[in-house]
Amino acid sequence: MPNPSMHKPSILIVDDTPENIDVLKETLKNDYIVRPALSGAVALRIATAEPRPDLILLDIMMPGMDGYEVVRHLQADENTREIPVIFITAISDMEGELKGLELGAVDYITKPINPPIVRARIHTHLALREARVKLEEQNQILLHERELVEDIITRMRSTKSFDDRFLRYLISPVDRSNGDILLSSFTPDGRQWVLVGDFTGHGLPAAVAAPLISHVFYTRVREGKNIEATLEEINAVLYQQLPVNIFMVGCLAEISADRKKIKLWNAGMPQCVFMQEGRVQRKFDSRNTPLGITAQVDTQNGHESFDVQEGNRLYIFSDGVSEVCNPEGELFGYARVENFLAGMATGSKIPEELLALLEEYHGSADFSDDITLVEILV
């Protein structure tokens, strides 16, 4: 037959007066396994040995090691700091109670004890502890599942189709599963397509759509399809497959096979910057709504088409760059971004230098948004 005591919680009673322990044992014996200790030192030996008590009733005024010191030792040990401790003492002043709670006790009961009150307090704190344990177990399961999903998304985003010729870029995500994407490849007839996207928010909700977009992009570029039709398809996929609060701002560029002309669609991204010999020649504002918000996107009238020559550079960046704040709350701003881009255009700076500059401005490397910067060299 199973032993009923195996299912009972264990209560450690610590008091230097045996009569007090006897009273509590009588109060608790029907519902709990009671383990007595007549000193703080003995209590610590019992608390650190297996099986550990589920809850401790602890007297404060004891010779040698008092209850406060026992709690300090319990809190210092990671194996015992989660055991709930209830002080049971004749001391009833507010200062002593506050001290006990600050040290880590969960409750405070004054003598003489009231058995129903003691049983009720123990039941409450054991229930709270069980709830915390279950919550921690659930959190660990969720953390494991999140890591698994991030792994899947990361693998789905990784592709040998990415072609970084004529590109320099920086991608610094807030999370492993970031919301910014960079796609680049060449059609069979030599046109280069570059897509820079920034999904709403960051983390898993923002990252989950990236593999969808990547699949459409690289499939159509391999087929040598019309870029306008591809943009319409990307918008349709986002509109049909994602919740209304998940959409993507982005820039799509097509560089002609002879690299003398660029078509550019800006859908909600910051101004794209076109530079020649280290100077800003043109800026391209957004002419489209973010992708995935409406069923249709105006690919014919919503783009810029312009001639370029060797050495020109087009810069696309997410708002995570310009909206980095310093400790006073001031934005890094477009002027500083353009200043940096001028150095990149002359070859005196590399993308990674921007991250160091932003970290210095921000005061730390803990940014609140993904940071992406892409240079397209014509």
Query: Is residue 222's pLDDT more than 90?
Result: yes
Residue 233 sits in the same domain as residue 309 = yes
Whether residue 261 contacts residue 305, with contact meaning beta carbons closer than 8 Å, is answered with yes
In a domain, residue 142? The reply is no
Amino acid, res. 101:
L
When pLDDT is averaged across residues 275-295 and rounded to a whole number, the result is: 93
- CATH of residue 29's domain is 3.40.50.2300
Report pLDDT digits (tens) over 77-120: 999 999 999 998 877 667 777 888 888 899 988 888 899 999 99
When pLDDT is averaged across residues 359-363 and rounded to a whole number, the result is: 93
Residue 16 sits in the same domain as residue 92 = yes
Amino acid, res. 103:
L
- CATH of residue 367's domain is 3.60.40.10
Residue 55 sits in the same domain as residue 164 = no
Residue 96's pLDDT is 72
In a domain, residue 211? The reply is yes
Average pLDDT, the chain: 88
Residue 74 sits in the same domain as residue 191 = no
Q: Is the overall model pTM greater than 0.75, yes or no?
A: no
In a domain, residue 146? The reply is no
In a domain, residue 148? The reply is no
In a domain, residue 11? The reply is yes
CA distance 291 to 252: 11
Report pLDDT digits (tens) over 122-176: 999 999 999 988 888 888 877 776 666 656 555 555 567 899 999 999 988 776 5
Whether residue 302 contacts residue 341, with contact meaning beta carbons closer than 8 Å, is answered with no
Residue 91 sits in the same domain as residue 226 = no
Residue 118 sits in the same domain as residue 168 = no
In a domain, residue 150? The reply is no
In a domain, residue 151? The reply is no
Q: Residue 268: which residues within 8 A CB-CB, separation 6 or more?
A: 249, 250, 286, 288, 289, 290, 291
User: What range does the domain containing 345 cover?
Assistant: 159-377
Residue 123 sits in the same domain as residue 61 = yes
Residue 126 sits in the same domain as residue 180 = no
Residue 225 sits in the same domain as residue 270 = yes
How many domains are there within the chain?
Answer: 2
Report pLDDT digits (tens) over 41-54: 999 999 999 999 99
| Listed range (5-9, 219-223, 293-297, 315-319) with the worst mean pLDDT | 5-9
Residue 358 sits in the same domain as residue 327 = yes
Residue 73 sits in the same domain as residue 200 = no
When pLDDT is averaged across residues 192-201 and rounded to a whole number, the result is: 89
In a domain, residue 327? The reply is yes
Query: Is residue 367's pLDDT more than 90?
Result: no
* Cα distance between the two ends of the chain: 82
Q: What is the 3-state secondary structure (H, E, C) of the chain?
A: CCCHHHHCCEEEEECCCHHHHHHHHHHHCCCCEEEEECCHHHHHHHHHCCCCCCEEEECCCCCCCCHHHHHHHHHHCCCCCCCCEEEEECCCCHHHHHHHHHHCCCEEEECCCCHHHHHHHHHHHHHHHHHHHHHHHHHHHHHHHHHHHHHHHHHHHCCCCCCCCCEEEEEECCCCCCCEEEEEEECCCCCEEEEEEEECCCCHHHHCCHHHHHHHHHHHHHHCCCHHHHHHHHHHHHHHHCCCCCCEEEEEEEECCCCCEEEEEEECCCCEEEEECCEEEEEECCCCCCECCCCCCCCCCCEEEEECCCCCEEEEECHHHHCCECCCCCECHHHHHHHHHHHHHCCCCCHHHHHHHHHHHHCCCCCCCCEEEEEEEC
Residue 125 sits in the same domain as residue 181 = no
| Listed range (61-65, 66-70, 173-177) with the worst mean pLDDT | 173-177
